[in-house]
Amino acid sequence: MISAAGPAYVATVSFVASRAVPFGGFFVALPGGVALARVAQLRGLRHGFGASLATLIETVALMGPARFGVPFTQALSAPVLGRMEGRSAAPAWQVLACLAIRLFQNGLGALFFIFVIAGGLDAYAGSAGNVADLVGLELGEADTLLLTLVGILAWSVFASTVQVTVYRRGLKGWHAEERSGTEEPEDLSAHRGRFDPRAVAVAAAIGFVLLLASTEWALLASVATVLAIAWALSKPDNSTVPTGLALAAILALGALTFALVGGLGIEVALRRALRAALLVSVATWLRAAAGASGLREVGRRGLARARVVPGVPEAARTLDEIGSEGRLLAAGRSLVDRLAGVPRRPAPFLDAVLTWVNRESGGFRPARPAPVAGMRLRAADVVLVLAAAAPAAALLL
């Protein structure tokens, strides 16, 4: 029977790439979704969701939480679609199931953008109304919400149809190709920050909550100061910083534009832009300060505490076997070789990618269980958490 580690590894490669590209992440994540669907097709929902959860933890370990939502919908829906395909469910029912999941997730994403990034419904509707005035249209708050819902629905229908079509094509053409044996565990000592990864995760969570609570200058300045000091003291792994900076700039520009076009004034616009940039910066610091091995170990220990939840034990075993760090470039080169000479037409290109998913999954050799990364809370870790909470005083004042 198929091992979950191979498909989860392929999904990790695909999901990491989908979060790294500036646009088109949905299409880049499709091969990873096919791999996760295969696990559920053959082994059921528990193993499918276990592989999906392990994949998400691994991608966060490698890249941090920035742009987490890009592959998240496929991580949620792939096990469901794989199980439905295993039970020969009609394509229409699969599209409806995928559509329901996608509408829920995209709806939450839209609410976050409207009320956090754009600064509220008034600012969001006001910006849309001002843009409509430029072309001679009158757009009220209800009209803006209706257009937003129509846009979400249209995208969800399109994406769900494409997703089900690609998944079914990949699953029907899947051939069992598994390789036995294991590989040596990756070296977890490559990066060790100054702080315990658990303290880093708690400090980052506090920073997120504070930034969501207010956009007052005192709070933003306090969070920025604490973040700058913590970053300087963390011995960070800055490999993901360029991606984080790019995303921070995009979100800050979006928040600034919505506030200005909505007529909220330059002062409010700057505060909301700074908050958007800080939200991404905190996420980027989390990955830099904790490192891939640290975040992976935090995820592993979190899974150990939730083993009674269905799918979590399967996720823990799969996470131990993925060992994707250090193999990503090899997988990328393998895909490039597979695509060499393929006609640049949709069907041959898609089939070549799906063949790569099949062979890369079957040829994957699970890593041997890696040594558990040592963690020990020290006084510096306590100080870090207290410092992260210190900006809350600005809310009281």
pLDDT, tens digit (0-9, with 9 covering 90-100), for 144-190: 889 999 999 999 999 999 999 999 999 998 875 544 444 444 444 44
Placement of tokens 């996470």 in the chain: 319
Confidence of residue 374 (pLDDT cuts 50, 70, 90): low
Q: What's the mean per-residue pLDDT of the chain? A: 85
In tens, the pLDDT along 221-258 reads 999 999 999 999 998 888 888 878 888 888 888 888 87
CB 36 within 8 A of CB 75: yes
Per-residue pLDDT, 268: 87
Placement of tokens 């880093």 in the chain: 200
The residue ranges of every structural domain in the chain are 5-190+294-362, 197-293+378-396
Does the pLDDT at position 47 exceed 70?
yes
